Structure 1
Amino acid sequence: MKALFIGGTGTISSAITKQLVESGCELYLLNRGTRNADLPAGVHSIKADINNEAQVAELIADLSFDVVADFIAFKPEQLERDYRLFKGKTKQFMFISSASAYQTPFSDYRITEGTPLSNPYWEYSRNKIACEEYLTKQYREQGFPITIVRPSHTYDERSIPLGVHGNNGSWQVARRMLENKPVIIHGDGTSLWTMTHNSDFAKGFIGLMGNIHAIGESIHITSDESVTWNQIYEIIADALGVKLNAVHVASEFLAASSKYDFRGGLLGDKANSVVFDNAKLKRLVPEFAATTRLDQGIKQTVAHILANPEHQKVDEEFDLWCDKVVNALAAAEKALAE
Structure 2
Amino acid sequence: MKKALITGADGFIGSHLAEQLIKEGKKVRAFVYYNSFGNWGWLDTFPKELLDEIEIFAGDIRDPNGVRTAMNEVDKVFHLAALIAIPFSYHSPDSYVDTNIKGTLNVLQAARDLGTERILVTSTSEVYGTAQYVPIDEKHPFQGQSPYSATKIGADRLAESFYRSFGAPVTIVRPFNTYGPRQSARAVIPTVIVQLLSGMTEIKLGSLTPTRDFNYVQDTVQGFIDIARSEKTIGLEINIASQQEISIGRLAQELIDQINPAARIICDEQRLRPEKSEVNRLLGSNKLLRELTMWEPKYSLKEGLKETIAFLKENLDRYKADIYNL
- Whole-angstrom CA distance in 2 between matches of 1:179 and 1:59: 44
TM-aligned CA distance change 1:45 to 1:268, over 3 Å: same
1:94 paired residue among 102, 117, 120: 120
SS at match of 2:13: helix
Contact (CA 8 Å) 2:31, 2:58: kept in 1 or not? yes
1:133 aligns with 2:157: yes
2:40 paired residue among 31, 34, 43: 34
1:49 aligns with 2:75: no
Paired AA for residue 282 in structure 2: V
Q: Map of 1:291-330 to 2, 5 A cutoff?
A: 291-316=298-323, 318=324
Q: Deviations over 1:179-206 (max 9, x none)?
A: 322544624x4x5321111111111110
1:8 aligns with 2:9: yes
TM-aligned CA distance change 1:66 to 1:210, over 3 Å: farther
- How far is 1:261 from its partner? 6.7
1:179 paired residue among 190, 197, 200: 200
- Whole-angstrom CA distance in 1 between matches of 2:206 and 2:314: 26
Paired AA for residue 258 in structure 2: A
Whose radius of gyration is greater, 1 or 2? Answer: 1
Measured on the aligned residues, the alpha-carbon RMSD in Å equals 2.8
Residue in 2 that maps onto 1:192: 211
SS at match of 1:242: coil
Q: How many residues align?
A: 297
Paired AA for residue 196 in structure 2: A
- How far is 1:125 from its partner? 0.6
SS at match of 1:246: strand
Residue in 2 that maps onto 1:331: none
Contact (CA 8 Å) 1:4, 1:30: kept in 2 or not? yes
Paired AA for residue 30 in structure 2: L
Q: Deviations over 1:127-163 (max 9, x none)?
A: 1111111121111111111100111211122348887
TM-aligned CA distance change 1:185 to 1:133, over 3 Å: closer
Contact (CA 8 Å) 1:70, 1:94: kept in 2 or not? yes
- Whole-angstrom CA distance in 1 between matches of 2:276 and 2:271: 13
Moved more, 237-246 or 22-31: 237-246
1:77 aligns with 2:107: no
TM-aligned CA distance change 1:3 to 1:235, over 3 Å: same
- Whole-angstrom CA distance in 1 between matches of 2:161 and 2:319: 44
Paired AA for residue 315 in structure 1: D
SS at match of 1:44: strand
Q: Deviations over 1:46-81 (max 9, x none)?
A: 233333333443455xx3332112111453222222
- Whole-angstrom CA distance in 2 between matches of 1:217 and 1:112: 12
Paired AA for residue 49 in structure 1: D
Q: Deviations over 1:193-247 (max 9, x none)?
A: 2111111111111001142111100011122332232331122112313334234
Paired AA for residue 314 in structure 1: A
- Whole-angstrom CA distance in 1 between matches of 2:184 and 2:81: 21
SS at match of 2:30: strand
1:245 paired residue among 261, 264, 287: 264
TM-aligned CA distance change 1:49 to 1:183, over 3 Å: closer
TM-aligned CA distance change 1:19 to 1:59, over 3 Å: closer
Runs of 4+, deviation exceeding 4 Å: 159-165, 168-172
- Whole-angstrom CA distance in 1 between matches of 2:185 and 2:219: 15
- Whole-angstrom CA distance in 2 between matches of 1:5 and 1:92: 12
Moved more, 14-23 or 66-75: 66-75
Contact (CA 8 Å) 1:200, 1:290: kept in 2 or not? yes
SS at match of 1:208: helix
TM-aligned CA distance change 1:44 to 1:162, over 3 Å: closer
TM-aligned CA distance change 1:203 to 1:267, over 3 Å: farther
| % same residue | 21
- How far is 1:29 from its partner? 1.0
Paired AA for residue 61 in structure 2: I
Question: TM-score when scaled to structure 2?
Answer: 0.80
1:290 aligns with 2:290: no
Residue in 2 that maps onto 1:274: 282
